[in-house]
Chain A
Amino acid sequence: MGELETKYKKGAEFPGQVMPAGNGGNILVTKIDELINWSRANSLWPLTFATSCCAIEMMATGASKHDWSRFGTEVARASARQADLIIIAGTIVNKMAPVLKRLYDQMAEPKYVIAMGACAISGGPFYYNSYSVVKGADHVIPVDVYVPGCPPRPEALLHGIMQLQEKIKKSKPILRRGAIEKFEEGF
């Protein structure tokens, strides 16, 4: 019986394990986390990356009828180094996949990805019998939110952006420092 097992047997009577709140978890850090998350979620600036038909619905979301700048995405940057969100609108093809990976690598942390439309989720209508379509953008880069539709309505894309904002608000940027190395101390 190693050191690990004796340590964890301590809380064994209670159903589920109680980990002491180590690694600096206190009220100050959680408030700072909330502030950081709030500021990140409410100012996501997307990269203008659009390959095919979903591009028109993305532009319509940016136009005046359904306006995405109410949600904080004020400007769409053209350069990947100044953006923090990439909305993959359209089909990804074998020839385009290295370009997408290079753009994702050029973005600075923290960065988020929304896969918009059936083609970016899984290849869409081009899944069967096609020799050049990548069957889903998540074969190339990790995706946070999937927005289904062919093409999805602008309201659906806004719902996707709101879901991403919820996801960001639940993350713990400071509290989770050393999530792997300091795991034994509890979090």
Chain B
Amino acid sequence: MEQNVIMNPDGTQEYFVNMGPQHPSTHGVLRLVLTLDGEIIEKVEPHLGYIHRSIEKMCEKDNYRQIIHLTDRMDYLSAHMNNHAVCLAIENGLDVEVPERAVVIRVIMDELTRISSHTLWWGVMGMDLGAITSFLYGFRDHEHITEIFEETCGARLTMNYNVPGGVMFDLHPNFVEKTKAFIADFKKKLPEYDTLLSNNVIFLERTKGVGILTKEMAVSYGVTGPAGRASGFSCDVRKHEPYSAYPNVDFNEILYTEGDTFHRYKARIDEMWESIKIIEQLIDVIPEGDFQAKTRNVIKLPKGEFYQKVETARGELGVFIVSDGKMNPYRMKFRSPGFSNLSALDEMARGGKIADLVATMSTLDLVVPDIDR
């Protein structure tokens, strides 16, 4: 911006402030240019591209097995679900039947990833609003889950555990008992975490009635995930277009109608309870058998277009593959949930102050490499 202040002919002033790419509460390299009138926000304009790594162009030169390793760096907090989406799209194209054991393992890993992403979100949300304690508690549980992943998948963050046809290795012998111990422990801790923030007067003052998103706005802007469901938009892919083992498990879709920051927070806490329910239903009945179906080493999808939707911790991720019969896809497009969630930030933040913007952004749960790809 060459000019920081613009004088209007009627005597008012507009003042531009840059919430720059390096900022402790923008969760990554997101640049927001705010137009202010005093401290009231008039317009929020996001400038993207500070982590645009050209993943879609790279996918056109890699073969299908190599693409899976790139996708877990897009939204790295739900890395498992990104891989799951690409593998499902490839398996639908090849008409490969995934064995039962692999299906159940994938869903358990998905739900554990969702819990670890939400605990990290909870920790960072408290830190944004000034409560540094919640950061340490949130990371403690995130570490428990990454230990479980590390034993089975080999890596803590970018797991790369799914392959087209199943999963890469079989489960570690300790997996079932460690997961059960973690769930039993977490069920005692989650009410503590909830009361730590939800009954705190400062937290309630800062989040109730702030950043309201109506249902029509949510549908029009395409806001999915817990942020959209807190406004009443029923968009859970696990219920509407179920994939993998979700038709056989019993869980509720969390819907609220108020659409403010507090209810987006509540929606995520309730989603953690639902994920615990899903894991408890599946952890004891993992079927025996193969963990991977036989596929060729070099995968070639037939000509056509394939779309697969998956519910990640942030919303609906779509993987769109256009194939012309060769080893590499012709065009690969990732419909990322953060991109659409961010576009609604302008409407939600108008009329509030900068501190309200920070609270709203932390409940939208943006991961910026997911937006820029």
A residues whose Cβ falls under 8 Å from a Cβ of B: 47-53, 55-57, 59-60, 63-65, 78, 80, 90-91, 93, 95-96, 99, 103, 125-126, 128-133, 150-151, 153
Contacts and interface: CB of A to CB of B under 8 A. Distances in A.
A80 B20 CA distance: 13
Nearest to B142: A60
Contacts of A53: 73, 76, 157-158, 369
Contacts of A130: 53-54, 57-58
Is chain B's interface secondary structure helix, strand, loop, or mixed overall?
Answer: loop
Contact of B22 (A56, A59, A103): A103
Interface string B182-196: 000000000000000
Given A64-B136, A103-B22, A52 B51 contact: yes
B21 A99 contact: yes
B69 A93 contact: no
Q: What 10 A-B pairs come out closest when comparing CB atoms? A: A63-B139, A53-B76, A78-B24, A96-B50, A130-B54, A129-B58, A129-B61, A52-B369, A65-B143, A64-B136
Contacts of B70: 125
Contacts of A103: 22
A81 to B, nearest CB: 13
Contacts of A63: 135-136, 139-140, 143
Interface in B129-167: 135-136, 139-140, 142-143, 146, 156-158
Interface string B1-33: 000000000000000000011111000110000
A151 B160 CA distance: 13
A79 B283 CA distance: 46
Contacts of B142: 60
Interface string B69-81: 1100100110000
A47 B52 CA distance: 22
B73 A64 contact: no
A56 B50 contact: no
B49 interface: yes
A125 B136 contact: no
Contacts of A51: 28-29, 50-51, 369
Contact of A55 (B28, B69, B158): B28
23 contacts: A47-B22, A48-B22, A52-B28, A52-B76, A52-B368, A56-B157, A59-B139, A60-B143, A63-B135, A63-B139, A64-B136, A93-B53, A95-B50, A96-B21, A99-B21, A125-B70, A128-B58, A129-B57, A129-B58, A129-B61, A130-B53, A132-B52, A151-B157
Interface of B: 20-24, 28-29, 49-54, 57-58, 61-62, 69-70, 73, 76-77, 120, 135-136, 139-140, 142-143, 146, 156-158, 368-369
A59 B143 CA distance: 11
Contacts of B157: 53, 56-57, 151
Contacts of A151: 156-158
Nearest to B367: A52
A59 B140 CA distance: 12
Given A56-B77, A126-B53, 7 more contacts: A50-B28, A51-B51, A52-B368, A55-B28, A60-B139, A60-B143, A63-B143
A64 B369 contact: no
A90 B367 CA distance: 13
A90 B156 CA distance: 16
Contact of B52 (A50, A56, A93, A153): A93
Given A52-B76, A53-B158, A91 B53 contact: yes
